[in-house]
Amino acid sequence: EWGLVMSECDRKLVIAKARENRALRSTGAWVGSLAMGMIFFCSPIVSIFTDRIGCRTTAASGAAIAFIGLLSSSFTKSLEVRYFTYGILFGCGSSFAFQPSLVILGHYFKRRLGLANGIVAGGSCLISVPLPFFLKMVGKAIGLAHTFQVLSALMLIQIFLSLTYRPILPPSHDSQHDGQDKLGSRSMRQQCWSQTRKYFNLRVFRRKTYRIWAFGIATAVLGYLVPYMNLVRALAETGRGRRRSLCLE
């Protein structure tokens, strides 16, 4: 699903139409931007679901939502509708399918967890690199609507692949007898905080090294996609890199 979002097949169509109607360039960019943003925006929520119901159920449910989003996008030509079907549904479903694929690594690997994570991240390039060329070829042959259906078939396969997850570590459960008497003696504020801690585990932020890493990565990612999104236009505007810009596009 990461390769599908990064390729942004709907954005390619909008760029093609923008040559005839430049007003579509800014409005159409929201389709891919929403899908990309929903992956990161839903991450805290996905973490809660992963802890409560497990990696397998979360990933399979997310892949099913992404499948519905892609399939429904093939039956509409309205850009506004695709804000929801592709931008929201597909983006949110991709987040639910993507995050458990990283969490499940901790169930299988301990000493070589970093290496396993690197292999998974590098393996996504096998799809992300050739997929835009494949989508461009398929889009010209069968059109955008049928291209969405092809992509939804790939997402349907991912539903069954997600079912192969076999969590080894037991899910985290709070004590069922957390003391009703103790809970009743607490103030309303303490009770709300206790219930919140069941779903939002903030103890990891007590570690200084993790705080530095988390906020450092978050700051760096703010500019991560800037060259990626503007490189083609920058080469095209210079005039000297026209062929290179067409290749990158």
Q: Residue 18's pLDDT is what?
A: 46
What proportion of the chain, given as a percentage, has pLDDT over 70? 66
The verdict on residue 195 lying in a domain is no
Q: Residue 112's pLDDT is what?
A: 85
Q: What is the DSSP letter of 206?
A: G
State the Cα–Cα distance between residues 27 and 158, nearest whole angstrom. Answer: 30
The verdict on residue 71 lying in a domain is yes
Q: Residue 175's pLDDT is what?
A: 43
The verdict on residue 217 lying in a domain is no
Q: What is the CATH number of the domain that holds 22?
A: 1.20.1250.20
Q: Given a cut of 80, is residue 241 above it in pLDDT?
A: no
The verdict on residue 153 lying in a domain is yes
pLDDT digits (tens, 9 = 90+) for 105-140: 888 888 888 888 888 877 777 777 787 778 778 878
| CA nearest neighbour of 52 among 184, 201, 206, 162 | 201
Radius of gyration of the chain (CA): 21
Domain count, the chain: 1
State the Cα–Cα distance between residues 229 and 29, nearest whole angstrom. Answer: 10
The verdict on residue 242 lying in a domain is no
Mean pLDDT of 1-28: 54
Mean pLDDT of 76-99: 87
The verdict on residue 69 lying in a domain is yes
| CA nearest neighbour of 150 among 160, 137, 163 | 137
pLDDT digits (tens, 9 = 90+) for 127-176: 777 877 787 788 788 888 888 898 899 889 989 999 998 877 765 554 44
The verdict on residue 135 lying in a domain is yes
Task: List the helix and strand counts (H, then E) for the chain.
Answer: 16, 0
| Owning domain of residue 39 | 1-169
